[in-house]
Chains A and B, each alone.
Chain A
Amino acid sequence: EYNDRNIRVSNGINADHPVGNGIEAMQKCLDEKSGGKLKLTAFWGGALGGDLQATQALRSGVQEAVVTSSSPLVGIVPALGVFDLPFLFASNEEADAVMDGEFGDLLNQKLEAAGLVNLAYWENGFRNLSNSKKPVAKWEDLEGMKVRVMQNDIFLDTFQNFGANATPMAFGEVFSALETKAIDAQENPYVTIDTSKFYEVQNYVSETKHAYTPFLFLFSKAIFDTYTPDEQSALRECAVVGRDVERKVIRELNEKSLEKIKAAGVEVNTLSPEEYARMLEKSQVVYEKHKETIGAEVVDRVQNILADMRKK
């Protein structure tokens, strides 16, 4: 049983982001299931407000859905801070298995308690570092570097712990700050380094993979609960269809962006497994400091799951 529903989906990113492909695939799936009755109307570039504001609108039942990364929401669900912890996941495969498995369900329960239904985990991806000084191959290379980070406690601590001067700065100001050398470095997924043209004003890109951020496809619980069971399961199933498309596109795009960055003459390096391990080791103080806030059981759980996976 399906009713006519106009579902407003707020996005902080622009329509040309792979999330656009995901929403398109999701809509196609919904059309087939509901005979065109469930309609997604996407708003891009924060037209309906920032991610946090939109999420609050979901909680109060004002708006239906938002696609947001986990970081802005730690003030609402502290457990989501787990994704800000440095060097948590080592590969796409690890991330997928953890997000789509029991750990993802655990977080979904916490989101639900805050009035948010998470339909599926989409992907923002691994964050890497670019700078104008030197290749970063070990944590010591970050000492004294002026790095722009998101306004986020864990990110600030992570980079300060490596001896960097971590500065929060509005995203819109980053390009000119890099260009004029007001800051040396920034960290973002390859796609962002490409689309925001940061590579034009940077000499080095280091594949640090220091954080993995998921996108959450959140629905207002207040509104979701008024939908029929058919509608609810169609939304959940089609969000998974959209997820698979979005992850595929964003990973292809990451490769393309990396090629473009290389072609522009930027020196790209990766971390050796030993140095990666040393960075993780060095970061344990950050884990300890924030374990309490995130929830000790959450941090332990994900680390146990990862330890089991890595044994196999």
Chain B
Amino acid sequence: MTLLVFIVSLLGAMAVGVPVAFALMFCGVVLMWSMGMFNTQIIAQNMIAGADTFTLLAIPFFILAGELMNAGGLSRRIIDFAIACVGHIRGGLGIVAIMAAVIMASISGSAAADTAALAAILIPMMAKAGYNVPRSAGLIAAGGVIAPVIPPSMAFIVFGVSANVSITQLFMAGIVPGLLMGIALVVTWLLVVRKDKIEALPRAPMKERVRATGRALWALGMPVIILGGIKAGIVTPTEAAVVAAAYALFVGMFIYRELPPRELPHVILQAAKTTAVIMFLVCAALVSAWLITAANIPAEITGYIEPLIDRPTLLMIVIMLVVLVVGTALDLTPTILILTPVLMPIIKQAGIDPVYFGVLFIMNTCIGLLTPPVGVVLNVVSGVGRVPLGKVTVGVAPFLLAQVIVLFTLVMFPDLVIAPARWLH
């Protein structure tokens, strides 16, 4: 019964266009009213306590690092480097896109920002070289959503904080699945373009390749600092985030000199606004999460799916299908925030490794960024690359399929995630 109140009030408010954060607050109000414990202080206290968490500080710092990476010319150097490496292969620009996407993913945690940078540079080049434009746009969108799976990742931080799972462990566990997504995209790309009439870029002379690599070295140093620092235990994820931002600022300002000091306030303001939007949502979700817990809703759901508790693989398949459906209509952060408090108690009861579940859950919500009707990354590619949304949606189909296959492969073979995670941690 309480479950029904939760679902109806939340979906009802969102359906009439209430922003998700306010809809979550509304859902909280309705829940406590229906439980006979209406008290305005529940809203006030949980809202603010939600933001008063040191770990979450990683979010603004990684957002800032990502903004500085784009504004400071680091993204451009990474793409040039990928072109120098594999641009001359047949279908090479597609491989360039994925290679650059993976490198950028290991610096930034934002799918939209990465995708925008890739689309702005690569779609015109791919069009000129005779590639099918919607398909190229689809590939870039699919590459962009690797960002939250490979660390650093805002999605992992939000999940880790609301599920009480180690963010360091989530980061380490995301690396291999993220790379698998990249490999799957490259393979799919080579399959779909094998009959196309396309020209490869001329092979760059050795001197030029060395130069592009040299220029990109500063940018390539960033993942080493972030992952190396966390892996070696020198810094916590929060501290790694601030070091990454400082590094991107330094490289953008003094090495690449593409970031004039007068533009800095604008970059910081944009990062601050993005932070506020995400964090306000996190806070509102903690209100409804508190009430979901107090109302024992997970126990209610466990009652319905009792038979699945003893069959973890089947349970995972069911949950992944549900998340795929939810992901068609809901953005990444709200999906994580709404489903985590409901699912985590069930996952624990079924004895599924929370880190493993976290990686698959995040991967699934990232795939949701590519599914209509609400697929933010599709909108980004369509806007930046000037390709109609409908065509991008068709173009992304084979790559979307590839990522779903990767997802379910990992559902069937959990060791593909767990073994490398253990080795890396």
- On chain A, the residues within 8 Å of B232 by CB distance are 180
A62 touches B234 (CB 8 A): no
- On chain B, the residues within 8 Å of A180 by CB distance are 232-234
B290 touches A48 (CB 8 A): yes
Nearest residue (CB) in B for A177 is B233
Bound complex: CA of A64 vs CA of B49, how far in Å?
19
In chain B between 136 and 188, which residues have their CB closer than 8 angstroms to a CB of chain A?
Answer: 164, 166, 168
Nearest residue (CB) in B for A181 is B233
- On chain A, the residues within 8 Å of B166 by CB distance are 172
- On chain A, the residues within 8 Å of B290 by CB distance are 48-49
Question: A144 near B: Cβ within 8 Å?
Answer: no
Bound complex: CA of A231 vs CA of B401, how far in Å?
61
Question: A176 near B: Cβ within 8 Å?
Answer: yes
A57 touches B164 (CB 8 A): no
Question: A39 near B: Cβ within 8 Å?
Answer: no
Given contacts A57-B45, A170-B54, contact A47 B293 (CB under 8 A): yes
Majority-rule SS of B interface residues: helix
Bound complex: CA of A6 vs CA of B41, how far in Å?
20
Bound complex: CA of A62 vs CA of B290, how far in Å?
12
- The residue from B168, B234, B294 contacting A8, defined by CB atoms under 8 A apart: B294
Q: State how many angstroms separate the Cβ of B51 from the closest Cβ of chain A.
A: 12
Question: B55 near A: Cβ within 8 Å?
Answer: yes
Nearest residue (CB) in A for B296 is A41
Bound complex: CA of A45 vs CA of B354, how far in Å?
15
A62 touches B39 (CB 8 A): yes
Nearest residue (CB) in A for B293 is A47
Bound complex: CA of A45 vs CA of B162, how far in Å?
12
- On chain B, the residues within 8 Å of A182 by CB distance are 233-234
- On chain A, the residues within 8 Å of B45 by CB distance are 53, 56-57, 60, 62
Question: A224 near B: Cβ within 8 Å?
Answer: no
- On chain A, the residues within 8 Å of B42 by CB distance are 57, 62
In chain B between 292 and 332, which residues have their CB closer than 8 angstroms to a CB of chain A?
Answer: 293-294, 296
Bound complex: CA of A53 vs CA of B236, how far in Å?
24
In chain B between 375 and 414, which residues have their CB closer than 8 angstroms to a CB of chain A?
Answer: none
Bound complex: CA of A49 vs CA of B45, how far in Å?
10
B55 touches A176 (CB 8 A): no
Bound complex: CA of A228 vs CA of B337, how far in Å?
40
Bound complex: CA of A182 vs CA of B39, how far in Å?
45
- On chain B, the residues within 8 Å of A43 by CB distance are 293-294
B7-41 near A? 1/0 per residue, CB < 8 Å: 00000000000000000000000000000010101
Question: A61 near B: Cβ within 8 Å?
Answer: yes
In chain A between 31 and 73, which residues have their CB closer than 8 angstroms to a CB of chain B?
Answer: 41, 43, 45-50, 53, 56-57, 60-63
Question: B365 near A: Cβ within 8 Å?
Answer: no
Bound complex: CA of A47 vs CA of B42, how far in Å?
15
Question: B115 near A: Cβ within 8 Å?
Answer: no
Q: State how many angstroms separate the Cβ of B179 from the closest Cβ of chain A.
A: 23
Q: How large is the interface on A (under 10, 10 to 19, 20 to 34, 35 or more residues)?
A: 20 to 34
Nearest residue (CB) in A for B348 is A45
Given contacts A53-B45, A180-B232, contact A48 B293 (CB under 8 A): yes
B168 touches A60 (CB 8 A): no
- On chain B, the residues within 8 Å of A50 by CB distance are 49
A121-165 near B? 1/0 per residue, CB < 8 Å: 000000000000000000000000000000000000000000000
Find the residue from A43, A53, A62, A170 having the highest chain B CB count within 10 A: A62
Q: State how many angstroms separate the Cβ of B345 from the closest Cβ of chain A.
A: 8
Find the residue from B49, B54, B233 having the highest chain A CB count within 10 A: B233
Nearest residue (CB) in B for A45 is B164
Q: State how many angstroms separate the Cβ of A119 from the closest Cβ of chain B.
A: 21
Question: B75 near A: Cβ within 8 Å?
Answer: no
Bound complex: CA of A177 vs CA of B55, how far in Å?
15
B41 touches A176 (CB 8 A): no
B236 touches A170 (CB 8 A): yes
Nearest residue (CB) in B for A56 is B45
Given contacts A48-B294, A49-B46, contact A170 B41 (CB under 8 A): no
Bound complex: CA of A41 vs CA of B295, how far in Å?
11
A170 touches B293 (CB 8 A): no
Q: State how many angstroms separate the Cβ of B189 from the closest Cβ of chain A.
A: 38
- On chain B, the residues within 8 Å of A57 by CB distance are 41-42, 45
A61 touches B39 (CB 8 A): yes
Nearest residue (CB) in B for A46 is B164
Q: State how many angstroms separate the Cβ of A216 from the closest Cβ of chain B.
A: 20
- On chain B, the residues within 8 Å of A45 by CB distance are 164
Bound complex: CA of A47 vs CA of B295, how far in Å?
12
In chain A between 160 and 209, which residues have their CB closer than 8 angstroms to a CB of chain B?
Answer: 169-170, 172-173, 176-177, 179-180, 182
Find the residue from A41, A49, A179 having the highest chain B CB count within 10 A: A49
Bound complex: CA of A53 vs CA of B46, how far in Å?
8
- On chain B, the residues within 8 Å of A49 by CB distance are 46, 49, 290
Nearest residue (CB) in A for B164 is A45
- On chain A, the residues within 8 Å of B54 by CB distance are 170
Bound complex: CA of A172 vs CA of B166, how far in Å?
7
Bound complex: CA of A180 vs CA of B296, how far in Å?
40
- Which residues of B line the A interface, CB within 8 A? 37, 39, 41-42, 45-46, 49, 54-55, 164, 166, 168, 232-234, 236, 290, 293-294, 296
A-B contact pairs, 9 of them (CB 8 A): A49-B49, A57-B41, A60-B45, A61-B39, A62-B45, A169-B236, A170-B55, A170-B236, A172-B55
Shortest beta-carbon contacts, A-B, top 5: A180-B233, A176-B233, A60-B41, A53-B49, A173-B236
Task: Supply 20 further A-B pairs (C-beta < 8 A) apart from A48-B290, A57-B41, A170-B236.
Answer: A8-B294, A43-B293, A46-B164, A48-B293, A49-B49, A49-B290, A50-B49, A53-B45, A53-B46, A60-B45, A62-B39, A62-B42, A62-B45, A63-B294, A169-B236, A170-B55, A173-B168, A176-B233, A180-B232, A180-B234
